[in-house]
Structure 1
Amino acid sequence: MSNDSQLVRGTLLLTSATIISRILGLIYYFPFLWLVGTKGAALYAYAYNPYAILLSISTMGLPLAVSKFVSKYNALGDYRTGYRLFRSGLVLLSLTGFLAALGLYLIAPIIAPMFINGSGGGSGNTLEDVILVIRWVSPALLLVPMMSLVRGYFQGFQSMGPTAVSQVIEQIVRIVFILATSFFILKVMHGSLATAVSLATFAAFVGAIGGMAVLIWYWLKRQKDIKQKIAESKNVQLISLLSMYKELMLYAIPFILVGLAIPIYQQIDTFNVNKALMSLGYTLGQAEDIFAILNQTSQKVIMIPVSLATALGLTIIPAITRTFTAGDQVKLHNQITQTFNILLYLTLPAAVGLGVLSYQVYGSLYAMSEVDLGSYLLAWYAPTTIFYALFTVTAAILQGINRQKFAVYGLIGGILLKIAFNYEFVRWFGGKGAILSTDLGYGFSIFFNLWIIKKFAGYSYRSVLKNSFRMLVHSTIMGIAVWLVKWTFILWLPGGKERFLNAVITLLVGLVVGIAVYLWLGLRSNLAVEVLGNRIGFLKRKRNPKAA
């Protein structure tokens, strides 16, 4: 197999595994919420948000940075230098992982009061519960950083299989453990909610064991070949470990910081949403219901279109890097335009659809008993789909044109705005205030990134704006059609919108009608062919009938 074929195969494999892992990570949450409720979801968020930040710092840029480092020296015939980094990195990360796990365990009593006040008045969670779940998630930090290093080392050999398989196995083991233990404790043993959620957070460690077992199997299978290449190394670079780690961090830091965006925004909400609401007279239990919807349930829903859109749009980013390096300005502009077009073509109708069908979406996926509040906040959250996706892609484009430091500057500016306005926005607007402050922060970061792209890539947004207006018109027409379907079913179906089955039926029919209308409009106007024609088979043939 040629190097190019191997790279394409590996990239497709890794992308597929990432999408599968994300979809599994979204789907499991629905039965988990049915088991633990919004109170349990809030408790889960208290532990998982600080863990996600520490995890992102220790792993987000590590596989990519290690693979870039190893690949660079492997290309020179120097397999020994990459192996030195790998071997010393395992020792270093085992130490830092232990310290991070110990640190999170020890500071749990310190950070828990930052999330909630009191002892669970108004049916809320107690400080003891929050401390418990934070401590149970900490062991995962022992293994996950080392697992990321091993994945990056394999990727440096253009071998994506170990990463792909270990990601999926890790997620499956984690999900099975979460659902099995939660069901057993709550429904069989009739145990406490805190115990069930604690084991759900501990599942991150159990999943890591499964993922690491896969990587160890791959290592045992391939170590003979790897060690032979190391023994035959040439052009060995005599560089110190300190220099190696410095080079590694230069690769990793921009990816780490950009990857921290969503966990940091969630953590800001964790710090002050409950407190801001309680200052308005909400009980802790009422505040936690809103916090859980903001931080867990609604966000899980909006991440579905974000994940699919960015996965498709970001496949062109490596090509942007190559084109920018080659200095082909015309091709670079076409690739940036294509990336924006794909992203907006998918996220604009998704945001409109979520807004129109928010009641049916929330009621079908979660509890009908909480559908009024949940669907109200989900409707406000729907436009954030576009902000999340645009930030991810604009940051990636900046990385592609070697201006990644500006993505970090834009992120920092957005976070400062979120911090400055979040508490007061919640006091002024209630739960949706946290969403508005998120939109404000992301909006700043996106406009800053767009300005930097225009400045350093010489890019004009005229074509994107023109197509975006067409997409918005199509999405509005689609939204009206879905709205008519929704109210027709609400009026005609026995029991109205309050019945679970009615919500499911309305959602399914609304989705079918929405997709059909949007696709029909896209085909009639040729917009779908212009945006997706090179990626979707029948659209490609429509663009070029002679190819059929």
Structure 2
Amino acid sequence: MSQKLLKGTFILTLGTIISKALGLFYVIPFNMIVGKQGTILYQYSYVAYTIVISIATAGIPLAVSKFISKYNAMGEYKVGRRLFKSGLLIMLCSGIMSFLALYLLAPVLAHMIISDKDFTSTVSQVTTVIRAVSFALIVVPFMSLIRGFFQGHDAMTPSAVSTVVEQIVRVVFLLGGSAFVLYVLNGKLLTAVSASVFAAFVGALGGLAVLFWYWQKSKNTYDSLLLDDKGSLTDIPLSSMYKEILISAAPFVFVGLANPLFQLVDTLTFNRAMSNIGLQSISETALNIFNYQTHKIIIIPVSLATGFSMALIPMITRAFVKEDRTELSANLNQTFQVLLFITLPACIGISVLAEPVYRLFYQTEDLLMGAEVLRVYAPVAILFSLYPVTAAILQGINEQRFTVLSLLVGILLKLSLNTPFIEKWETYGAILATTIGYTVSIVINLIIIRIYAKYSFKMVFRRSVLIVGFTGIMYIATTLMYKLLTLFLSTESAFSSLVMVIIVAGVGMLIYVYLAYRSKLAYLLFGDQAVKIKRKLRIPF
């Protein structure tokens, strides 16, 4: 891999990490500004926003960049430019149509999500916040195509910078707008939440402005490439180009949509299921905690899997095309083991520290309910991490069609089980339905990998037993340490919660790292990197 490509991949990954970090930590001040009812209203638009962003960031840029890169390598620069010019118009039109569709259908969606009977929020309020987020649809598809154009020319910096700027502008407008409405204008809470939701549109404009600046800066360079065009493929119809892009984008879109679609099922069914058993008075609070607040926290380890899966495809594809089964098996072994090695203890650690972690992000209101949901929900993030990686492997071995199949089966299971499970076990029923849906999707992917890659899971299973054992020891030690600290510290205080998280997480990391090095597992998984880390940190064992 060239240094230029390595640098570009690093820049793009760094931009994504910064963007996700901003998207996580804004919830602390936002919760303080708008309070419980404000976040309840906000989360109704959150899933719609996540779906839009997933489509824009997961599928279109990658597919467009792959298309442009392919024809640039052939010296057919005008083909990519034709796609870019026509694509901008199509994306703008489709964005406007999508905006109009969501804006006009907002009342219908609001009625599906909630009824006016005995709920804190009203159909009118939910309609308003959905309409506020719909404006982002005008800009985001248009912007995603431009990002794909830059990436297709191996220019990762514009996409990375625009992603970060988009998130910064969004967060600043979200916090500033809601605070301005409430504390300066003395406005209504609904107006403040609508302003914070509208921030998605403002942020997209910020990201688009950055891309336009880079375009003006680089336009002459890209135009000069057209002078070297071979001109032998000028008769390719636009319909063929779009067909190629859609086929390429579909697997990435489905992988990116997996988690938001599961959340969408909860958004559409949770309140009505809780109302059926007479719990509408706490339904919105429970949904907000489950589908927004705790989900924001447990998605942290999943970010690793997403980045990991994107880097995985070229290695898997290379080994598969060469029919090098040894290299393919080694890559798959490494992938699954490293993923489990990192995500398993991280998710279990969040579960152990559920109460202080929840307190750090949110207020003491509903602390017990939030902590209990987080404790049960955190381990499910292991499945959230496994799915995108197994889907990426299917992409690597050219069996991406099964990604769509596995996701549809999982979603249908979630949809069919959600209401009866919620009626029986309330919030935990929704978590169980998600667990079953994801598990089935992952099992289908693993079976396909086993058949088409002729891959044996024996090594992964043996190492997984070891990783589970180490995580179990860490779990016992951290639980005992946490119980001890609760004798002196209280989660009612944010500072005490922070102290508890630092101490318990530190103890857990020390024990886990010690076991990994003493057993030689760290060397087996990370090779020379484990040696370098040990030397730099001066680890004595």
> Could you state the TM-score of these two structures normalised by the residue count of structure 2?
0.96
Counterpart-to-counterpart distance in 2, 1:58 and 1:509: 40
Structure 2 CA distance, aligned partners of 1:126 and 1:464? Answer: 50
Alignment-derived partner of residue 144 in structure 1: 140
SS of residue paired to 1:460: coil
Change (3 A) 1:533 1:35: farther
**Contact 1:116–1:275 (CA under 8 A) maintained in structure 2:** yes
Number of the residue aligned with 1:296: 292
1:5-154 matched pairs, under 5 angstroms: 5-57=3-55, 60-118=58-116, 121=118, 124-154=120-150
Q: Which runs of 4+ in 1 moved over 6 A?
A: none
CA contact (8 A) 1:61 1:253 kept: yes
Identify the residue that residue 287 of structure 1 maps to in structure 2: 283
For the pair 1:391 / 2:387, whether they are aligned, the reply is yes
Report if aligned partners of 2:309, 2:392 keep a CA contact under 8 Å in 1. no
Which residue in the other structure is 1:347 paired with?
A: 343
Q: CA deviation at 1:313?
A: 5.8
Q: 1:313, 1:342 within 8 Å by CA — same for their partners in 2?
A: no
Which runs of no fewer than 5 residues in structure 2 stay unpaired? 537-541
User: Where in structure 2 are the equivalents of 1:314-393 lying within 5 Å?
Assistant: 314-393=310-389
Residue number in structure 2 paired with 1:278 = 275
CA contact (8 A) 2:312 2:392 kept: no
| Distance of 1:205 and 1:54 partners within structure 2 | 11
1: distance between equivalents of 2:87 and 2:335?
36
Query: Structure 2 CA distance, aligned partners of 1:55 and 1:489?
Result: 41
Give a deviation string over 1:87-144, Cα, whole Å, max 9, x none.
Answer: 000011111111111111111111111111116x35x111111111111111111111
Please, which runs of 5 or more residues in structure 1 have no aligned partner? 543-548
Could you tell me how far apart the structure 1 residues matched to 2:26 and 2:495 are? 21
Contact 1:38 1:288 in 2 (8 A): no
Alpha-carbon displacement from aligned partner over 1:164-200 (angstroms, at most 9, x marks no partner): 1111111111111111112222233332221111111
- 1:407 paired to 2:409: no
Structure 1: distance between partners of 2:449 and 2:17 = 27
Partner in structure 2 of residue 248 of structure 1? 245
> With structure 1 as the length reference, what TM-score do the two structures score?
0.94
2:525 aligned residue:
531
**Alignment partners' CA distance in 1, 2:420 and 2:50:** 26
Please give the root-mean-square deviation of Cα atoms over the aligned residues, in Å. 1.7
Matched, 1:163 2:159: yes
Count matched residues.
Answer: 535
SS at match of 2:474: helix
Q: Supply the distance in 2 between the matched residues of 1:158 and 1:208 (Cα, whole angstroms).
A: 22
Give the aligned partner of residue 266 of structure 2.
Answer: 269
Q: How far off is 1:247 after superposition? A: 1.0
**CA contact under 8 A between 2:251 and 2:400: conserved in structure 1?**
yes
Of residues 424-433 and 308-317 in structure 1, the stretch that sits farther from structure 2 once superposed is 308-317
* Aligned partners of 1:310 and 1:343 also within 8 Å: no
Identical amino acids, percent of aligned pairs: 45
Q: CA shift at 1:309, angstroms?
A: 4.4
1:43 deviation in Å?
A: 1.4
Secondary structure at 2:145's aligned position in 1?
helix
> Aligned match of 1:513 in 496, 507, 511?
507
Note the 1:482-497 alignment, pairs <5 A: 482-493=478-489, 496-497=490-491
- AA of the residue aligned to 1:383: P
Q: Deviations over 1:128-163 (max 9, x none)?
A: 111111111111111110111001011111111111
Corresponding residue of 1:546: none
Task: Give 3-state SS (helix, strand or coil) of 1:61's partner.
Answer: helix
Q: CA deviation at 1:41?
A: 2.1
How far apart, CA to CA, are the structure 2 residues paired with 1:459 and 1:35?
52
Q: In structure 2, what residue type is equivalent to 1:525?
A: S
Out of 291, 299, 307, the residue aligned to residue 311 of structure 1 is 307
User: Structure 1: how far apart are the matches of 2:321 and 2:33?
Assistant: 52
- 8 Å CA contact 2:305, 2:386 repeated in 1: no
In 2: Cα distance, 1:405 partner to 1:362 partner: 39
Q: Given that residues 170 and 208 in structure 1 are in contact (C-alpha distance below 8 angstroms), is that contact kept between their aligned partners in structure 2?
A: yes
